[in-house]
Amino acid sequence: MCRHILTLSLMIAPFGALAQEATRQAPEPGSATWFGIHYLDTSTEGEINGARADETARLAMIEEYIAEDLTQRGFTLVDPPAEAMAAIRNPVHSNGADTRIAAEMGSDYAIAGEVQKVSNLIQSVNLYLRDAESGQTLRAGSVEIRGNTDDAYRRGYSYLLRNIIFRED
């Protein structure tokens, strides 16, 4: 009996989440503090071999790619002040510091991303769009990509932007 209840609840749970998600609208364009992409190497490759020039260049490329996409969607992007960023290790997991900075700057949104390198083959790319005033996460997503290439990063973030962050319901 317990097994049947558990199975039924596991089958129903995703539908409730989908129904709730379907009522949400994509965020309206506005001003946004763009925190860029934080890089997290959990593969230990960086500890052993140091930072790789191609990965550093790839992060700059993908930040530019995302900023261009956001601008084309009507967002006005501003960079956070360097002194405020010095106190934050990772804007994505800053206990609300990102949205406080964005609100102090008069922005509507705080936008930040993260790349977690699991191995040279597996990367997890994430993007968060939060309301600056309330601190509420309006849209967020994560995609696992295969490969450590410019093309893999572009495909991953393109998917996130089109199908999660700005999905039209």
Cβ neighbours of 152 (radius 10 Å):
16
Alpha-carbon distance 105 to 101, whole Å? 6
| 164 has pLDDT over 70 | yes
Express as a percent the part of the chain with pLDDT over 70: 86
Q: Mean pLDDT in the chain?
A: 87
Beta carbons of 78 and 109 less than 8 angstroms apart: no
Beta carbons of 38 and 114 less than 8 angstroms apart: yes
| 11 has pLDDT over 80 | no
| 138 has pLDDT over 60 | yes
Higher pLDDT, 69 or 15: 69
Q: Which residues of 20-39 are buried (b: 16+ CB within 10 A; e: fewer)?
A: eeeeeeebebeebbbbbbbb
Confidence of residue 34 (pLDDT cuts 50, 70, 90): very high
Model pLDDT, residue 24:
66
Model pLDDT, residue 13:
40
Question: Comparing C-alpha atoms, which of 133, 88, 82 is closest to residue 107?
Answer: 133
Question: How does pLDDT run across 71-130, given as a tens digit for each residue?
Answer: 999 999 999 999 999 989 999 999 999 999 999 999 999 999 999 999 989 999 999 999
Beta strands, E only, 42-88: 76-78
Express as a percent the part of the chain with pLDDT over 90: 77
Where is 39: in which H helix or E strand?
Answer: strand 31-41
Alpha-carbon distance 123 to 2, whole Å? 38
DSSP state for residue 73 in the 8-state scheme: T
